[in-house]
C-alpha cells in the first residue's frame, strides 16, 4: 500500500531565485516526514514538485519505484497520475460544489460506480467525524470543518501518498491542537506515506517520524524529532528549533573547558575548533537559589511565568541566558540566582562554519 519517495538532486528555479537547490532526500514507506523551515525556504516548492504542480529544473523523483520526474530523461507525470493527495493551506474546496460533489470529483474521474462512491464518501466522512455533511456547501461550514472535509476529500480517493501544505495554519490555536492529534491518528490508520510542510517547529516535533529542516532551498538536517531537537546539525537548526529559543554563547574551547569570558564550563572539547558557539536549551540549565559547586552567579533580569512553566532571563554583565523551569517560579526580578550547566547537554558549534562539532577523540 504505502510508497517510498526518493528525491535525487532536485533543483527548481524561479527566474534567478533558486527555490530548491540540489536537494536529495529519501522518505521511507509509511513515514510522516515534515519539511520544516522559515517562509521562503523552498519547502512548499519542493512539495509542489513532488505533486507535479511545478516542473523542476533538474533532478529526479521516484514515488515507490515509479519514476515520476526526471529532468535528464524529460519525464514528468501529470499530478493526476502520481497517485497522491494534497491538502492545501486554504483547503481549496470548490465553493460551487457540495461536500459530496467535492469528494466524488476525483472518483468520477476514476469512473467509480455510484455505489462505490457513496461508500467511499461515507467512510471518509466518518474518518474525519463529519458524518452527514454531504449536502453542505463549503461556505456553510467553519474553518475547522472545511479542513476536515479537505482531508476527507483526499482520503476518499485513497492515494498512496499524502501531501499537506501547512494545513493547520489557518486554524486558531486550540483547533490546531485538536487537529494535530486527529492528523496523527489518521496517518496511523491510513499508513500512507505523508509529506507535511510547516514552518511551525512545535507542529513538526509533535507529529513527525522524521523532520527535514530546510533553509534557502538546501537541506540542513534530516533526522527524527528527537535528533533534531537534541543534536541540531548546525546553528541555523539549533536556533530555529525550540521555544523559547536556544541560548547561543560565543566561547573559546581549551580542550578541557569552554571559556565564556565571565566563567568557564569544564568539559572535554577535543574535536572542537578553538572558536566555538555554545548552544544550551533553556530547560537544560538548572537554577539554584544559593551558590552550589560549579554554579555561576547571575541576576534575574526578567521572570515570565506561563502556567506550566516559567521563563527566566538571567544576566551576567552583557551575557544573557534564558532558562526554563517547571511550574510557577518563586524567583523575583533582580534576585541573585546561580546557574548550573550540565556539560552533557551542551552542543558546541564551529563559529566559522556553524556546524556542530562531534566531541571526543
Which of 20, 22, 3 minimizes the C-alpha distance to 68? Answer: 3
Q: Does 116 bind other proteins (CB under 8 A)?
A: no
Q: Which stretch binds other proteins (CB under 8 A): 72-80, 216-224, 291-299, 308-316?
A: 72-80
Alpha carbon distance 219, 306 (integer Å):
34
Q: Does 59 bind other proteins (CB under 8 A)?
A: yes
Q: Does 40 bind other proteins (CB under 8 A)?
A: no
Query: Which of 16, 39, 65, 74 forms a contact with other proteins (CB under 8 A)?
Result: 74
Output b/e per residue, 284-308; b: 16+ Cβ within 10 A: bbebeeeeeeebbebebeebeeeee
CB of 72 to other proteins, least distance (A): 6
Query: Which of 4, 40, 92, 345 forms a contact with other proteins (CB under 8 A)?
Result: 92
Alpha carbon distance 163, 181 (integer Å):
17
Residues 217, 223, 228: CA angle, nearest 5 degrees = 90
Q: Are 176 and 184 in contact (CB under 8 A)?
A: no
Helices (H) then strands (E): counts for the chain = 8, 21
Q: Does 81 bind other proteins (CB under 8 A)?
A: yes
Query: Which of 88, 304, 315, 355 forms a contact with other proteins (CB under 8 A)?
Result: 88
Q: Does 66 bind other proteins (CB under 8 A)?
A: no
Phi and psi angles of residue 226, each rounded to the nearest 5 degrees, phi first: -65, -45
Using alpha carbons, list the distances in angstroms from residue 136 to 108, 132, 300, 350. 19, 9, 56, 57
Alpha helices, DSSP H, located in the chain: 43-51, 99-109, 114-127, 143-156, 173-190, 201-207, 225-230, 235-240
Applying the rule CB under 8 A, the residues between 9 and 28 that interact with other proteins are 9, 11, 14-15, 22
Query: Which of 78, 293, 307, 360 forms a contact with other proteins (CB under 8 A)?
Result: 78
CB of 153 to other proteins, least distance (A): 8
Q: Are 308 and 283 in contact (CB under 8 A)?
A: no
> N- to C-terminal Cα distance for the chain?
45
Q: Does 137 bind other proteins (CB under 8 A)?
A: no
Q: Does 58 bind other proteins (CB under 8 A)?
A: yes
- Return the number of the residue (1 or 53) whose C-beta is nearest other proteins: 53
CB of 159 to other proteins, least distance (A): 8
CB of 217 to other proteins, least distance (A): 13
Query: Which of 50, 68, 99, 106 forms a contact with other proteins (CB under 8 A)?
Result: 106
Using the structure block, give the residue that is written with the C-alpha cell 496517518: 187
Alpha carbon distance 185, 242 (integer Å):
24
The footprint of other proteins on this chain (CB under 8 A) covers a number of residues equal to 38
Q: Does 197 bind other proteins (CB under 8 A)?
A: no
Q: Does 75 bind other proteins (CB under 8 A)?
A: yes
Query: Which x/- pattern, by CB under 8 A, does the window 155-184 give for other proteins?
Result: --x---------------------------
Residues 6+ apart with CB under 8 A from 214: 35, 36, 37, 41, 42, 43, 46, 220
Q: Which stretch binds other proteins (CB under 8 A): 80-88, 121-129, 254-262, 320-328?
A: 80-88
The contact set with other proteins (CB under 8 A) reads: 9, 11, 14-15, 22, 51-53, 55, 58-59, 70-76, 78-81, 84-86, 88-90, 92-96, 105-106, 109-110, 157
Amino acid at each position: 500500500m504505502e510508497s517510498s519517495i526518493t528525491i535525487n538532486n532536485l533543483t527548481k528555479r524561479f527566474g534567478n531565485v533558486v527555490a530548491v537547490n540540489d536537494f536529495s532526500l529519501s522518505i521511507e514507506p509509511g513515514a510522516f516526514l515534515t519539511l520544516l523551515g522559515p517562509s521562503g525556504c523552498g519547502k512548499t516548492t519542493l512539495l509542489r514538485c513532488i505533486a507535479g504542480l511545478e516542473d523542476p529544473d533538474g533532478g529526479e523523483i521516484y514515488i515507490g519505484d515509479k519514476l515520476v520526474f526526471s529532468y535528464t530523461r524529460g519525464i514528468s507525470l501529470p499530478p493526476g497520475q502520481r497517485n497522491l493527495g494534497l491538502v492545501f493551506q486554504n483547503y481549496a474546496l470548490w465553493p460551487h460544489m457540495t461536500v459530496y460533489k467535492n469528494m466524488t470529483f476525483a472518483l468520477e474521474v476514476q469512473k467509480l460506480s455510484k455505489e462505490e462512491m457513496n461508500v467511499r464518501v461515507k467512510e471518509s466522512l466518518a474518518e474525519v467525524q463529519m458524518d452527514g455533511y454531504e449536502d453542505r456547501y463549503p461556505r456553510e461550514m467553519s474553518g475547522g470543518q472545511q479542513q476536515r472535509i479537505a482531508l476527507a476529500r483526499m482520503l476518499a480517493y485513497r492515494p498512496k501518498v499524502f501531501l499537506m501544505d501547512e494545513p493547520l495554519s489557518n486554524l486558531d490555536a486550540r483547533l490546531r491542537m485538536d487537529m494535530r492529534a486527529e492528523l496523527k491518528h489518521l496517518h496511523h490508520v491510513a499508513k500512507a506515506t505523508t509529506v507535511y510542510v510547516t514552518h511551525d517547529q512545535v507542529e513538526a516535533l509533535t507529529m513527525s517520524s522524521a523532520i527535514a529542516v530546510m533553509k534557502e532551498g538546501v537541506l540542513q538536517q534530516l533526522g527524527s524529532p528527537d535528533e533534531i531537537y537534541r543534536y541540531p546539525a548546525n546553528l541555523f537548526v539549533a536556533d530555529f528549533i525550540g521555544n523559547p529559543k536556544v541560548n547561543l554563547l560565543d566561547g573559546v574551547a581549551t580542550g578541557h573547558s569552554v571559556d565564556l569570558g565571565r566563567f568557564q564550563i569544564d568539559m572535554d572539547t577535543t574535536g572542537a575548533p578553538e572558536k566555538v558557539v555554545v548552544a544550551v536549551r533553556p530547560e537544560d540549565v538548572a537554577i539554584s537559589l544559593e551558590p552550589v559547586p560549579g554554579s555561576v552567579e547571575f541576576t534575574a533580569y526578567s521572570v515570565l511565568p506561563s502556567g506550566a512553566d516559567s521563563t527566566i532571563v538571567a544576566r551576567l554583565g552583557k551575557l544573557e541566558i534564558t532558562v526554563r523551569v517547571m511550574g510557577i517560579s518563586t524567583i523575583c526580578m533582580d534576585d541573585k540566582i546561580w546557574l548550573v550547566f550540565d556539560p552533557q547537554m551542551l552542543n558546541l558549534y564551529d563559529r566559522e562554519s556553524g556546524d556542530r562539532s562531534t566531541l571526543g577523540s
